[in-house]
Structure 1
Amino acid sequence: MKALVKTAAEPGLELTDVPEPSVGPGDVLIKVKQTGICGTDLHIHGWDDWAASHVQAPLVVGHEFSGVVVEIGSSVTDVAVGDVVSGEGHLVCGRCRNCRAGRRHLCINTRGIGVQLDGAFAEYVALPSQNAWVHTTPIGFDVAAIFDPFGNAVHTALAFPMLGEDVLVTGAGPIGILAAMVSKHAGARNVVISDLSEQRLALASSLGVDLALDARTAKPQDAHDQLGMTEGFDVGLEMSGSPVALRDMISSMTHGGRIAVLGLPADEISIDFATVVLNMLTIKGIYGREMFETWYAMSVLLQSGLDISGVITDRFDHTDYEQAFAAARSGHGGKVIMNWES
């Protein structure tokens, strides 16, 4: 089968032939339909320090995908051939303290497809049946392909109650915009988003945020007068990994404000902990998705009318992967999708 492979410890990927994955007793084989490009994939493609320390070539990359089940293992009873699925790309051990307590998203032995294990930028991918999320209501393969990043957004946005709150989202990448949309759908009063890209701010505005701020010329506090806010933000969602964004967020929160942090910084960040203490702020780190509570929330959000298709702005055939990666790396669009249907 054809797959995008990190063939050597150097920049770039290669579309090449690899063996079709085998299916164990508890696994399913999925015919991949569409895939989404993630920031992790950009790191691996560019072969930066993070990739060099986490990835061992050769490796089939990619972890955001949708497809159709074409084969099931002998012990699989919860997934059937023909099911339309997305995939939870974090594979957990099932034996550590958190796994055995039902907190699988906190597994200390987590491995990721497309990072430690062969991934989904391929014609077929195999994974444990429990990691296949079956879509029981009709859903497009493009939207199903971005359930992984959608889950990151949902996990972050629903970390704290949203109803009636004023929310600040720093970082208008695809996940930041998705988090803003979830916040609004969950009942937030005002949702403000900030970024450096005019195109992404325009996209966020078109998808329903109340105010989009250019971080080069505006501060979060500027939203107060424009939206009639009398105090600071109740909830902050830091999605950018920017030290400046986090510090600005902390200074703009109301007393008792709550911050969920998904954005990964490149280096250590210094913050004003006196403000955190004196204003009694809560800062919570977020990684991946809760397995599988977040997945239930994602499906219910779509069933209740949330339309996330507008976050997808670029579509390419998998053979045009270099153009697709260039579009994702530009930092100005929304989600980039690659089609794997032959």
Structure 2
Amino acid sequence: MKKTMKCVIKSASGVGNIKLVERPIPEVGPNDVLVKVKAVAVCGTDVHIMDWTEWAAKRMNPPSIIGHEFSGQIIKKGELVKQVQIGDAVAAETHIVCHTCDLCHNGCEHVCYNTETIGASRDGALAEYVAIPAENAVVFKKFASWEILSLMEPFVAAVHAVTQFSISGKTVGVIGCGPIGCMGILIAKKCGASKVIAIEPIEQRGNKALEVGADILINPITVNIKQAVQDANDGDLIDIVLDFSGNVGAIQDCMTYIKPEGKIAILGLSEKKMTFKLDEFVYRGLTLKGIAGRRMYRDWETAKGLLAGGLDLSKIITHKLPMVEFQKGLELMKTGKCCKCVLIP
């Protein structure tokens, strides 16, 4: 086996500074596995790292390898690893947690105080090889392709958002129809939502939302959003809102068209403050829930079940490029000209 690998790193702080370099193949600790990477999906987080937003600056200490949505095959394991085998096909839970804090002890590992993140606070997977803790390697015995398997990390986050509340027979609004929003639409339909209303101002993303199964598309820029939602829902308000946009204004607007006792799950991120009238929120009995990553590991098991039941993610992937074209992949994601772009090492 060769001793070095090609990988994409954030070489220094500041805007840009994303480079393809050669590095030593990582060593494997006693509880780790070495994965030969087969596919890496570009994430909005990678764009934040490229643009060196406040989020990235708080979490990264360059130089380090980027990329966290990936699939691959285990080719080496540490001497204490028993739960996975060489040759296993895996995706990865990217949150590495402590298992010692009160949150971990109470089944809330996904919000562990001491979380490290693959591709941000430690080296990632936009490389030919990546070493990860064995417990973070999720084995898939059946999967459609390496490219689709690389989508599991965001897909399972979407599973968390959609299944946070009982959705069967409910009307659902999906705000933001980028890759994870479209995954959310697929999951909501598979879980028995009676109607899914996609709320998206960008034409390309709106069309993709309809392609993956949204019943109705609303452009919130061109209409009165409350009236448009009611018109789309036979005059009624809706039961559940899922936000994948992080658009604070859109989330505030949803409180005008959601039913009393309605549920709002937010996976989208923003550093802006959100305001609403507390009395209206209280008297209407609304629930607002932040969705942090994936519940470890029950959302992964739910995701496997949805895939086994026929949920098809193939329409989410619109571009496939060799890893050396990483800059193009990042630009496609930044400009919204792709749904999901997958890079092949």
- Specify if TM > 0.5: yes
- Greater shift in the superposed pair: 127-136 or 45-54: 45-54
Q: Percent identity?
A: 37
1:250 equivalenced with 2:229 (yes/no): no
Deviation at 1:97, TM superposition (A): 0.9
Contact 1:211 1:223 in 2 (8 A): no
TM-score, normalised via structure 1 length = 0.97
Map 1:145-224 → 2, pairs under 5 A? 145-218=150-223, 219-224=225-230
Equivalence for 2:280:
275
Counterpart pick for 1:64 among 58, 69, 93: 69
Q: 1:125 aligns with which of 126, 130, 134?
A: 130
Aligned match of 1:339 in 308, 328, 344? 344
What does residue 2 of structure 1 align with?
A: 6
Asked if structure 1 preserves the Cα contact closer than 8 Å seen for 2:73 and 2:89, the reply is: yes
Structure 1 gaps of 5+ residues are none
Cα offset, 1:55, TM superposition = 1.0
Paired residues, number: 339
| Partner Cα distance (1:53, 1:79) in 2 | 33
Residues 94, 118 of structure 2: 8 Å contact kept: yes
1:11 has 2:15 as partner: yes
Match of 2:33 in 1: 28
Structure 1 residue 220: deviation in Å?
4.5
Which of 326, 331, 338 lines up with 1:326 in the alignment?
A: 331
CA deviation after TM superposition for structure 1 residue 151, in Å = 1.0
Q: CA deviation at 1:250?
A: 1.1
Q: Secondary structure at the match of 2:183?
A: helix
Q: Distance in 1 between matches of 2:163 and 2:20?
A: 38
Listed one character per residue, the Cα deviations across residues 216-263 of structure 1 (whole Å, up to 9, x for unaligned) are 1131531322332x4311111011111211011111110100110111
DSSP-derived class of the 2:245 partner: coil
- 1:198 to partner: Cα distance: 0.2
Q: How far apart in 1 are the matches of 2:326 and 2:111?
A: 33
Report if the CA contact (8 A) 2:229-2:257 is conserved.
no
Is the counterpart of residue 75 in structure 1 residue 54 in structure 2? no
User: Mind listing any 5+ residue stretches in structure 2 that lack a counterpart?
Assistant: none
Q: Which amino acid is 1:252 matched to?
A: Y
Give yes or no for contact 1:197–1:332 (8 Å, CA) kept in 2.
no
Instruction: Give the superposition deviation at 1:102.
Output: 2.8
Equivalent of 1:307, from 294, 304, 312?
A: 312
Report the counterpart of residue 232 of structure 1 in structure 2.
Answer: 237
Q: Residue 104 of structure 1: CA displacement?
A: 1.4
TM-score (norm 2): 0.96
- Deviation digits for residues 264-313 of structure 1, max 9, x if unmatched? 11311212322211111000110100000000011100000110110111
Q: CA RMSD in A?
A: 1.1
Offset, 1:149: 0.6
1:135 equivalent among 132, 140, 163: 140
> Is the CA contact 2:143–2:149 (under 8 Å) kept in the aligned structure 1?
no
* Secondary structure of 2:217's aligned partner: strand
